[in-house]
Structure 1
Amino acid sequence: MASINQIVPCLWFDGQAEDAANYYVGIFDNSKITQVSHYSEAGKEYHGHEPGTVLMVSFELNGQPFTAMNGGPQFRINEAISFQVMCESQQEVDRFWSKLTEGGPVEAQQCGWLKDKFGVSWQIVPSVMIEMLKDAASPKAQRAMSAMMQMKKLDIAELQRAYAG
């Protein structure tokens, strides 16, 4: 159970909350659905959902709590919010990129960003990239940044070559 001061991201869906939660739980280790709640007759004049349909799904991705809510068509997820997945190796980058881009029309953006089949944006980031970009004024960091800007999925070896010169 989440502590009282823990921040829990809530994702708004239009009927896909349970599918999305199950999809994400299947991708990340140490993940699980923790609770599913349903709409009732109470408040139907406001929410408009049939009693018994999924309202909210609480889940954890690698121990981080999330909530997915079937709120309706009023709001859409967009790129203004994204989730960073920090990766220690190219194998991890490749695995998360592959899993999060499967199953539907997905937009691969640049610099390690992608949008999954539910419209959620993710950044698949090699942790070594954070180190390379620490000193933005250095020629090494500038070369790494230039290389990164040309990529969709980040390639650690190519970033290291650019960084080294």
Structure 2
Amino acid sequence: MSSVQAQLPQHDAPMTVKDVLQSLVDDNMVDSERVGTSNYYWAFPSKALHARQHKLEELQKQISEAKQRKDTLQKVVEKAKVGRQDTKERSSLLKELQSLREERTQLKAELEKYRECDPEVVEEMRKSNIVAKEAVSRWTDNVFAIKSWTKKKFAFDDSRINKAFGIPEDFDYMD
């Protein structure tokens, strides 16, 4: 067995031996075991060596995997470069592609301007107008029902009810 040296954090109050040992156990630098009423602590030099070797193997494995990914990506890049050499034909095709994209954008903008004349959009607007008119009629029915109930319950005339609830004098069903 050997003694383990560790750098201890600087605190205002000195750490007790128990705190130091617990810190070393938490860091896996020292092993501990409770036997009866006693706690035994130990550290073998080979454990630290084994831990470093394990970490080294893990890092080497990560390096190997990263090199394989790098090689794979380089092959993909090389494969992608095939047929993309800068030639006059390629550059003219790229310019044509760019101009076609711009033209498509302009055509989409122009189409959007005339969207309201699209038969599908017009039909959708007609349907939504029908639904809106039905809703207006329902609410108008509700207002007239409340006015009728208020007249019967409190014996108010129409002008007084309209004034109290902010109902215009020309309130009526939509045509």
TM-score (norm 1): 0.19
Q: Which has the higher contact order (CA 8 A, sep 6+)?
A: 1
Q: Which has the higher helix share?
A: 2
The structure with more radius of gyration: 2
TM-score (norm 2): 0.18
